[in-house]
Structure 1
Amino acid sequence: MTKWNDTEVGTIGDAEELDLQSERTDGTLRPPVTMWVVRVGDQLYVRSVKGADGPWYRGTQSRHEGVVEAGGVRKDVTFVEAGSGEYADVDAAYRAKYGHYTTIIDTVLTEQARTSTLRLDPR
C-alpha cells in the first residue's frame, strides 16, 4: 500500500474542503464534488451526509478509484470503506475541525453518514 507523504497528508488534511472525482467504469472522471475532509493520524477520510444513497458516494463504488484535490495537492486515490472501529476517531476529527459549524456538523455524525466513511489511500 502506498502511503501519504507528510506534505500531502498535512496539506489535504488541513484544507477546509476537498474536491473529489470518482472514476466511472470506463476510467473517465466524474465532475468534482466539494466536501469536508478530515485527518486521523496519517490517514484521510471523507463521509457522505446522505450515506450510501449519496450520489457521489455511489459513484465511488464503481471502481473504488478517483482523484482528490485540496490545497494545491492533486492525488490519485483508492476509496476504501472504513471499518466501524475507525468511526469514533473520524467523528472526533470532524468535531475538532468543523465543530464551529454548529448548525451542520451533526449531519456528518449520524449513523447513516458513519457507514459511508471512506479512507482515501494514495495510489
Structure 2
Amino acid sequence: MSSWTAEELRELERISEIRVAGRRRDGSLRTLTIVWHVVVDGSLYVRSVRGADGSWYKGVIRHHEGAISWDGKTRDVTYIPDATVDDQLDAAYYTKYGNGSATRAIVNSTARPTTLRVEPR
C-alpha cells in the first residue's frame, strides 16, 4: 500500500468535496458520488451522511476497494472502517464545513458508524 503525498493531502484539505466509488466484483468502478471528507493526522476520512443505508457506502463496503476523484485526479484506494479517531473527525468536520445542519448530519449517530479511512493503493 502506498501513502498520500504531502501535496495530495494539502489539496484534499483545501477542497470541499471529493467523489468516491466502490469497485464491483468484475473490477469496474461504481458511479462516483460526491461526499464530504476530512484529513486528520495525515489520513483521509469519509462518512456516509445516510449511514449504512447510503448507496455509495454499500458499494464501497462490499469489497473495500475503489477510487476517489478530485480536481481532475483519480486514485485507486482501499476503504478501511476506522472508528479510532471519531471525536477528532467530528471536530475536523465542524472546522472545515461549519456548524450547519449538513455538518450535524455527518457527525451524528447515523453517520459516525460509517467512518472509513481512505488509503491510496
Assess same fold via TM > 0.5: yes
C-alpha distance after superposition, 1:57-107 (max 9, x if no partner): 010122111110113332110000012x3100111110000015x132110
In 2, distance between residues paired with 1:74 and 1:10? Answer: 15
* Matched residue type, 2:72: G
Secondary structure at 2:2 match in 1: coil
Q: In the alignment, does 2:105 pair up with 1:107?
A: yes
Kindly report structure 1 stretches of 4+ aligned residues shifted beyond 6 Å: none
Aligned to 2:96: 97
Q: How does 1:76-91 map to 2 (within 5 A)?
A: 76-83=76-83, 85-91=84-90
In 1, distance between residues paired with 2:57 and 2:101? Answer: 23
In 2, distance between residues paired with 1:14 and 1:4? Answer: 15
Alignment root-mean-square deviation, CA: 1.2
Asked if structure 2 preserves the Cα contact closer than 8 Å seen for 1:8 and 1:73, the reply is no
User: How many residues are paired up?
Assistant: 121
Secondary structure at 2:63 match in 1: coil
Asked if structure 2 preserves the Cα contact closer than 8 Å seen for 1:12 and 1:69, the reply is no
Secondary structure at 1:111 match in 2: coil
Identity of aligned residues (%): 38
Ranges in structure 2 where 5+ consecutive residues have no aligned partner: none
Relative to the length of structure 1, the TM-score reads 0.92
Ranges in structure 1 where 5+ consecutive residues have no aligned partner: none
In 2, distance between residues paired with 1:32 and 1:19? Answer: 5
Q: How does 1:46-61 map to 2 (within 5 A)?
A: 46-61=46-61
In 1, distance between residues paired with 2:104 and 2:34? Answer: 18
Residue 26 of structure 1 deviates from its aligned partner by 1.2
